[in-house]
Structure 1
Amino acid sequence: MTKTLDNKTLVIVESPTKANTIARFLGSDYIIDSSFGHIRDLPKSKLGIDCEKNFEPQYVIPTKSRKQVNALKKEVMKVKEIILATDEDREGEAIAYHLVEALDLKDKLAQGDVKRIVFHEITESAIREALSHPRSINMAMVDAQQARRVLDRLVGYKLSPFLWKKVMRGLSAGRVQSVAVRLIVQRESEIKDFKPVEYYTIEVELEAYDKELKKHIITFALAKIGGKAIEKPGMTDKDKVENIILDLPKSVWKIENIIKKDTKRNPLPPFITSTLQQTAVNRLGYSSKKTMMLTQRLYEKGYITYMRTDSVNLSKEATLVASEFITENYGKEYALLKPRKFSQKSKLAQEAHEAIRPTNPKVLSASLNIEPAEKKVYEMIWQRFMASQMQSASITSTTIEALAKGKDKYTFRVSGSMIAFDGFLRVWPTKMQEITLPNIDEKKEVLYKKSSSNQHFTEPPARYNEASLIKALEEHGIGRPSTYASIISVIQDRNYVIKNEVKRFEPTEIGEIVNNLLVEHFPKIVDIGFTSDVEESLDEVALGVSNWREVIKEFYEPFNKNLEKKYEEIQKSEIVPEEKTDKKCPECSKDMIIKRGRFGKFLACSGFPDCKHTEKIEGESGGANTSLFKSVSTGIRCPECGQGELVSRRVGKGRARGKIFWGCNRYPDCKHAVWENPLAEKKEKKEKDA
């Protein structure tokens, strides 16, 4: 006999995809529906926090969520039991809490008719296991999410109007994003202030015979003078270098030492959110935002475990399946006798029980009916997981030292390495270059052939790309795995930073202005140590150690007091001084002045607001900030006209304003243009051909 709707259980998750996957595992006794993400939030039109009532949030149901909330309200009235199966992190816990509030489930919760389940993979066994072990909503985790939301709203809602008044309209500031901008601005200052140091290296070619009497020409590099190692970066005395070059042909040469060493190279831990994002940038060229979107899909389809995690733990079952697969496909010499465990860095690893891994390690990407981009990410996750449970690689390294006795003793060195056993490298691609050195004898004389000195200059620190910025944020304790992608997205959307033609971050002029203002007048907002301490306080809230309202109070009271003071103290002209010009306004004949907008400098009439005449500045690309942007030639011939050359440019108007593209330098005669960097495509093709 078919059960009526009254006897059914309603399972609520966040997304329709997740709902469809779970529905495959559960029978007709269950109805699976989704909330379509958060169903309650702070209002967009006002602060939404009562600071006088202990920072009480005033949540509302957004317009876009009302239809679904009403539908869920009808469903909960018809079923006997409700299961809240949202994600296992703070956001998921908060959604579960808001579902109880928005759907009026408090009474049902008290009666035991509302249950909370969590799982870190969407498989039948994981869902069944979770259903057999329901728990209550973890209010400590809800409070931690609530505290972050309230903190970010207070900073953004209070500081943004200040920036509008003191700098320019349309600006905004975020608690964590401002620190990310500061890191980028600091790096730009280091690059500008960098003074290169000239140094030299010396190389020599020697003729030697191996044990089979075969002749070899080997290139060595100078490592020691008089037994003392050359300090980094290298030799800075050009005259001394030239004297050594003159002395080498007259010196007596022999092989002094041959050092052979066997080392083990261990695999990296399976992915956590931050390392996945970094590796996807470096290996696949995917932004952190794209990577998280793809992994969200893979998770909801049931192919990988939960992708927001800072735990490197692996389940016993997963490592057992991996061991079986490795033995069957690569041989037992590649399998471990017992699972490899990795040390845990996160204090909150219990928030996510496992690292990111395939739900079924025996499933290869080629067998999945998914998009190509999803396959690439899945394959990378599979490789990293499988490699973590394989034997270490054995590397044999050889160093040969040649000694020259002339006016001084000069030690030259050459090193090579070979993979004796590939181990985990069988599945985890590496850029390691094997160099084989000839098998020669120690203490044998060798013949000098020629030498050369090479001039070098020390280089400034590299600008951040997405991978290195995420790594820096993680090392400084800024943000958490679930926030990195949004931080990077927001600072670009606000035009505080841009990606240059090689996808590295540069601050815009307005980004530097806002950063300098915050550093001088709101130092705690952009202080790396302070922001890290706030993150730790939020972690303590999640653990139930600290009260979330006390954390907010400790931050907000001094911040708000300082903000009120700065409204009185700071004049706009101090922050963004207007530049005078000799040009007259064509409409009212008053002086034209240079002002700054979100996208760079422009000319404006000094008679504003009586006269609103404005003009573009030559080279400012329609208002986009190009003061930090130089057009770069690629050296690649235009594929359309065959005469011009592709150069980088920046969009000056429209929704894509400020974005980099590559076009023919014969414009407007040739209008060929592409978004993708042709140099990157050329490099990728070269690597594939190799």
Structure 2
Amino acid sequence: MTTLLIVESPSKAKTLSKYLGPEYQVLASYGHVRDLRRKDGAVDPEHGFAMAYELIDRNKRHVDAILKAGEAADTVLLATDPDREGEAIAWHLSEILHGNKATADKPMKRVVFHEVTQSAVKHAVENPREVLAPLVNAQQARRALDHLVGFNLSPVLWRKIKPGLSAGRVQSPALRLIVEREEEIERFQSREYWSLHLDSHKADSQKAAQNFSAKLTRWQGAKVEQFSFTDEAGQAAVVAALQGHDAKVIAVEKASKTRRAAPPFTTSTLQQEGVRKLGMTTERTMRTAQGLYEGVDVGEGTVGLISYMRTDSVSLAREAVAEIRAYIEREFDHTPHDKGRYLPDAPNAYRNAAANAQEAHEAIRPTSIRRTPDSVRQYLTPEQFRLYEMIWKRTLASQMSPAQYDTVAADIAVGEGVFRATGQTLVFPGFMAVYLEDEDDKTDEGDARLPTLVEGESLPVDRLYGEQHFTQPPPRYTEASLVKALEEFGIGRPSTYASIVKTLQDREYVVLEKKRFTPTGIGQLVCGFLVHYARQYVDYDFTAKLEAELDGISKGEVDWIPVMEQFWSTFKSTVDGLGEVLPGIPLPDPCPKCGKAVHLRASSRGLFCGCTGYPECDYTKPWGRDENEPANRPLGEEPDSGLQVYLCKGPYGHYVQLGETPPAPPKEPGAKPKAEKGNRADLPKPKRASWPKEKPLEDATLDDAVYLLSLPRVIGVHPDGKPVELGSGKFGPYVKHNGIFKSLAKTDSIFELELGRALELLSAPKAGGGSSGKVLGEHPKDGKPITLGSGKFGPYVKWGELYASIPKDEDPETIDLDAAIDLIAAKVAKQLGDKTGGVVVDPAKMPIGGKARRTGGGGGRPAEPD
């Protein structure tokens, strides 16, 4: 009796084949096998939101392999990932198998496991279930909503703003978050304020004198607020009034406090910490976690190192908690002094505070806490190790005792003022011995220690002074803080956060500058249009409510058709009404020439303000450019030369310049231009560099300008030992290596480009021309490299002397090693099938440069054309 077991990834298929033995055939679907037709009408609201699916071209050969294996199998087990997407893939596979005459009557069940370990897989296989319709319905509803929004709202943007733009059900509210934060920053008016401080010390006969500081909290009986002192004169008057008075301790408060460990990782918190602690993007964090989940050969065989990484649960299985507690007791509570200190009396339990959280799965954890990071380091890539270590430590810390602090606060009277000094001391690290969570935009000043202060004692006044401060605008979003905001607002699901971030960058709606998101001009225009004309569909509460309804569908509490009907009825009327609106978005000020409304619009040169009375009125003005803006704005002196650095306005945009522009010499009467001597062209030109269009002019600093003027510069060394340069030229910023130039993507920042990203750009296939190719990995047959390139006939993968074209509907950027091997196998099968009379050649048995071996008779399935 044979069983066909279907998973999503080929690496997981290899691992499970080893676990289950010869009576199981394990094949991969390579993700989704069907999707909605890529055209309008794939979802039909007039007929119960019927959906027209089609096979994904890239995966047709995998479906063929599954159907063929299904014909020979007695039973089919659908072991796709344990989430909504996985449930939907299982349903699509079952539909395909049931629709095939030879497999229609095969017993078919769903199996689910949350970690790729032998025990978990075998337990799942022994306990199969049916495909859950509510999960499938929820995924279908989500996909239908995304399709309806994209195929109806995006064309409006093409007509009213610019071709090629897109709107999305989740993408657009996320963009609004970034744009509104930028608007907050632009509106922000900084305010000056002062804080007043006392420096003192306490001498001790046994120890050296200990210095400390205190902050004024009360003045003349009133509480000191942030804006109690708003200028230098005001604070100076208070300091003068305090001079000459003694300092006396009037109150001392002591307390103990504890700090509890953060819960184990969810998808969202893993992405946030990946950005903060490891400097990885959300996308790279998830890709690396996927590899750890699917399995790594750690010497004793291939095993999944972490549980499933798409989850918003913070709970752990009882067995995992028991193993973790045993590890803590053995490794931390082993000395008489520490006995029972690091291990709490009962397991720590956590509740998820995120909007729309589901508790169906476990948190992300190591599959075994005994598999320490050091024990597997030699088997992991550097990124895999760093991520696994972080997951391992966070999980371990989550079940440890709280950290304990002693805190003290002392009030010190000086004249009519009261100063407060605070401090805390860590007396027991608890979980902090293993792991401490990072934060964005920290405001704490760390731990401070105070000497032992006693109520009633006098202290010396070493110094009284004021400190000037200015209020700061809210910070721009980082990847981590954006993910946190998406979670808090209930926008999207944890599994979609990385793709949301990537889509906003790919669409060039935002740029990541100094690790913070800034909206581009087109991003602001798209957001403004949607807020003005389709506000409900970028409303945070509306988006969160819709997510909650989708969660209700997945739980079987809500029927998906009424949800779709309610959405579509209002959405369609909104979209239909947009046909009559004028292009762009209205601005508050009327046209200075004719008095009609002015709209903000987009052109190939950027945003501009244009009169709606066109063509009768031809008023236009570039957006964001002040007509009274000085031609040259000084930014400061360049440190090495002492020359002034300017931000200048030219006919083709802004640029920075080192030094003054030499004046043109007086023209000699009667001299021809060509015969002029000593004209400006003969004088040394000041060094110039283009200002990046995506970087706001108001953010221009001397440091940025000096950096641009320093280009080109070497940013590292290529693996071949030759330098890699970063520069800026006629066609924008670029990287250069060994005579090869590659332009930066619009989402790359010239100020932050690192060597790793430069190597990625240099290895990417060149559009429209030949390329030496990006190495994807080694072929398992002979260890020779497989490369991704582009040539006269389009993108391809290459192995030795064999070239396999990448299908036109496939993005070359999505081709990984496994996909490349499949393309090569299909090409070999086609070529050898032609030579053997159309007989299929099994790619697994294909020779290396030799003759093909036949694997079937003359009635085999035709080889798929390349």
Pick the aligned partner of 2:184 from 180, 190, 201: 190
Cα distance in 2 between the residues matched to 1:550 and 1:654: 49
Question: TM-score, normalization: structure 2?
Answer: 0.68
Is 1:311 the counterpart of 2:305? The answer is: no
> Aligned match of 1:336 in 333, 339, 344?
344
Q: Is the Cα–Cα contact under 8 Å of residues 401 and 430 in structure 2 kept in the other structure? A: yes
Letter in 1 for 2:453: I
Structure 2 SS opposite 1:246? helix
Give the fraction of aligned pairs with identical amino acids, expressed as a percent. Answer: 37
The secondary structure found in structure 1 opposite 2:193 is strand
Counting only pairs closer than 5 Å after superposition, residues 54-203 of structure 1 correspond to structure 2 as 54-104=48-98, 113-203=107-197
The CA deviation at 1:298 is: 0.7
| 1:258 maps to which of 249, 252, 261 | 252
Distance in 1 between the 2:756 and 2:11 partners? 31
CA contact (8 A) 2:355 2:490 kept: no
**Superposition deviation, residue 628 in structure 1:** 2.5
Mapped to 1, the partners of 2:482 and 2:437 lie a distance apart of 23
Among 727, 750, 759, the alignment partner of 1:661 is 750
Q: Structure 1: how far apart are the matches of 2:587 and 2:116?
A: 53
Partner amino acid, structure 1, of 2:519: P
Deviations 1:497-531 (A, max 9, x none): 1111x111111111111111111111111111111
How do 1:465-480 residues align onto structure 2 when only pairs under 5 Å count? Answer: 465-480=478-493
The partner residue of 2:224 within 219, 230, 249 is: 230
Paired position in structure 2 for 1:685: none
Give the match for residue 553 of structure 1.
565
Residue 626 of structure 1, CA deviation: 3.1
Query: How big is the shift at 1:414?
Result: 1.7
Residue 602 of structure 2 is matched in structure 1 by: 596
Alignment of 1:384-533 (within 5 A): 384-405=394-415, 408=416, 410-429=417-436, 433-500=446-513, 502-533=514-545
Residue pair 1:651, 1:658 contacting (<8 A) in 2 also: no
Output aligned runs, 1:355-366, within 5 Å: 355-366=363-374
The 8 Å contact of residues 10 and 31 in structure 1, kept in 2 or not, is answered as yes
SS in structure 2 of the partner of residue 363 of structure 1: coil
SS at match of 2:179: helix
Listed as ranges, the gaps of 5+ residues in structure 1 are: 1-6, 582-593, 608-614, 664-672, 679-690
1:532 match: secondary structure: helix
Change (3 A) 1:596 1:616: farther
Q: Take 2:728 and 2:217, find their aligned partners in 1: how far apart are those partners?
A: 42
Mapping 1:237-256, distance limit 5 Å: 238-256=232-250
- Are residues 1:353 and 2:421 paired? no
Q: Can you list the C-alpha shifts for 1:241-278, whole angstroms capped at 9, x where unaligned?
A: 22211122222321222222111111011011111111
Change (3 A) 1:239 1:346: closer
Following superposition, the deviation at residue 659 of structure 1 comes to: 2.2
Stretches of structure 2 lacking an aligned partner (at least 5 in a row)? 296-303, 334-338, 439-444, 594-599, 616-649, 656-688, 715-724, 735-741, 759-866
How far off is 1:359 after superposition?
A: 0.3
Q: Is the 8 A contact 1:601 1:617 kept in 2?
A: no
Question: SS state of the match for residue 482, structure 1?
Answer: helix
Q: Could you say which structure has the higher helix fraction?
A: 1
Correspondence 1:568-647 to 2 at 5 A? 568-571=580-583, 596-597=602-603, 600=606, 617-619=652-654, 625-626=693-694, 628=696, 633=703
Letter in structure 2 aligned against 1:102: I
Three-state SS of the structure 2 residue aligned to 1:103 is helix
The Cα shift of 1:568 comes to: 2.1
CA distance in 1, matches of 2:387, 2:755: 23
Conserved? CA contact 2:307–2:367, under 8 Å: yes
2:768 corresponds to: none
| Bigger Rg over Cα | 2
1:250 is paired with a residue whose SS is coil
How far apart are the structure 2 equivalents of 1:32 and 1:677? 36
Aligned 8 A contact 1:109 1:115 in 2: no
TM-score, reference length from structure 1? 0.85
Q: Is the 8 A contact 1:339 1:389 kept in 2?
A: yes
Task: Report if aligned partners of 2:733, 2:744 keep a CA contact under 8 Å in 1.
Answer: no
Residue 655 of structure 1: CA displacement? 6.6
**In structure 2, C-alpha distance between the alignment counterparts of 1:213 and 1:33, rounded to whole Å:** 72
Amino acid at match of 1:264: T
Distance 1:72 1:11 in 2: 9
Aligned equivalents of 2:172, 2:127: Cα separation in 1: 42
Q: Residues of 1 paired with 2:201 and 2:553: CA distance?
A: 68
1:51, distance to aligned residue in structure 2 (A): 2.3
CA contact under 8 A between 1:201 and 1:235: conserved in structure 2?
yes
Distance 1:137 1:108, change over 3 A: farther
- RMSD between aligned residues: 3.4
Please name the residue that 1:3 is paired with.
none
Deviations 1:418-474 (A, max 9, x none): 110111001004688443222233211112122111111111100111111111111
For residue 107 of structure 1, report the CA deviation from its aligned partner.
9.0
Given the superposition, is the C-alpha separation of residues 179 and 430 from structure 1 closer, same or farther in structure 2, using an over 3 Å criterion?
A: closer
The 1:565/1:93 distance shift into structure 2, 3 A limit, reads same
Distance in 1 (CA, whole Å) between partners of 2:67 and 2:35 is 18
User: Mean alpha-carbon deviation: is it higher for 345-354 or for 39-48?
Assistant: 345-354
What is the deviation of 1:129? 1.6
The aligned residue for residue 381 of structure 1 is 391
- Supply the distance in 1 between the matched residues of 2:584 and 2:428 (Cα, whole angstroms): 66
SS at match of 1:468: helix
- 2:422 maps to a residue whose letter is S
Inter-partner Cα distance in structure 1 for 2:507 and 2:219: 54
Mapped partners of 2:607, 2:42: distance in 1 = 35
Q: Name the CA shift for 1:108/1:77 in 2 (closer, same or farther; >3 Å).
A: closer
Partner of 2:54, secondary structure, is coil
Report the 3-state secondary structure (helix = DSSP H, G, I; strand = E; otherwise coil) of the residue aligned with 2:495: coil
